[in-house]
Amino acid sequence: MASLIQNAIDGNTEAIESLLLQSQPSLTRFARKFCATPDDVEDAVQESLWIIYRKINSLRTSKAFVSWIFQIVRNECYALLRHTKFRADDIEISKLDYLDYAASSDQDLYSTLAQDLITAIERLPSQQREVLILRDIEGLTAPEVAERLHITVETVKSRLHYARATLRQLLESWTI
């Protein structure tokens, strides 16, 4: 695999295509963790594959390939979440799309919880949703989130507090 990655970095078109074909299933599974709907998963993976194809020659070492491609997918999923306007109709469509996907899964309880969590996150105001994703999903520190969003640490903490409180309220039925 390392030689295939190195050949791709060196510009071998066949190696790049082979690498992308081998990587796509793993990228799709990974994207399901971060994207709101199955359509977003497809969009994020396709855009990521295109970015990888165009920029693989900028990779310095083959050892960084795996973390690099997963970071690209994660960024594409977050970009889709940030740029999507969630109206009531969109949420209903997202729910139906996700339920179709979840129905094909054997993990009904997990799928239902995931669907409810996605819907709850979609309902957050965009500023709260963005802070929540960066802080709790991406794992950035409050100062890192503040720097990325060009806001104060206090604003990050406030938005995160309200986002978590809203999620707790929206997911109240899941408490034991």
Say which residues have a Cβ less than 8 Å from residue 82's Cβ, sequence separation at least 6.
126, 130
| Average pLDDT of the residues of the chain | 78
Weakly modelled stretches of the chain, pLDDT under 50: 85-107, 176
Residue 94: predicted pLDDT: 45
Taking the C-alpha atoms of residue 23 and residue 20, their distance in angstroms, rounded to an integer, is 5
DSSP code of 152? Answer: -
Q: What is the pLDDT of residue 137?
A: 80
Residue pair 81/133 in contact by the 8 Å Cβ criterion: yes
Instruction: Identify the pLDDT of residue 96.
Output: 44
Q: Delineate the domains of the chain, giving CATH numbers in brackets.
A: 1-84 (1.10.1740.10)
pLDDT of residue 86: 43
The confidence score (pLDDT) of residue 112 equals 67
DSSP string for 76-117? HHHHHHHH----HHHHHHHHHHHHHHHHTSS-HHHHHHHHHH
| pLDDT at 109 (0 to 100) | 53
pLDDT digits 0-9 by tens, 46-72: 998 899 888 888 877 778 788 888 888
